[in-house]
Structure 1
């Protein structure tokens, strides 16, 4: 039996690091105002994993978090401020694609897009299916 693939990533300063054990089941993008404000981008691209498949490995330990809704907290590095993802109550950890060491563009192509309406009208959303 093949061993599951482990993906690594972290924040800008390197204090917060993670290992995410695949497979990656739900890559998706979102343009809601909360994702826009959290990421500083018009769209955030996420991969969601069960919390037991994400391990925080850096010298900074677990990321800081901000309770952003009734069911989720946004995760970030307290030292450099990098957005890392969201820690949901499910327990699910959603990691931002940009926080991975390698972009994995082909593997993590979003299969869905949430909240298309808040995006600028000039931005055409294209989802690879």
Structure 2
């Protein structure tokens, strides 16, 4: 019997923690204005999961949210302010790779980049899918 894939992570202070069981979906990077403003970075690295696969396990419970669009809310720790991802109205939660305890796992490596035109021209985005 195959062992379930499990990922863990959380915020800077540990108040918000998550445990995800199941395969990573659509790992990607994005340079859209919303992602840049949400993270304070020129590019955000995301991975999506079905909402039912994500359990909020830290003492803070679920993260605080800010309604950022008609279809999604941005998630963050109400204690330390760390950004964690986006909770979509569709049954999807997108978590930022920087919040994972082990973000270098092969199945979390981004396979594409969204809104490349949103980055400054001097910002070079290169995704290496072969890690050998």
TM bin (shorter chain): over 0.9
Deviations 1:39-81 (A, max 9, x none): 1110000000000000000000000000000000000000000
Aligned to 1:8, the other structure's residue is in SS state strand
- The TM-score, its normalising length taken from structure 1, stands at 0.95
Q: CA deviation at 1:4?
A: 1.1
- Any stretches of 5+ residues in structure 2 without a counterpart? none
C-alpha RMSD of the superposition:
1.1
Partner of 1:102: 102
Deviations 1:13-35 (A, max 9, x none): 10000001121121000000110
CA distance in 1, matches of 2:57, 2:107: 23
**Greater fraction of residues in helix:** 2
- Correspondence list, 1:86-101, <5 A: 86-101=86-101
- The TM-score, its normalising length taken from structure 2, stands at 0.93
How many pairs are equivalent? 129
Partner of 2:76: 76
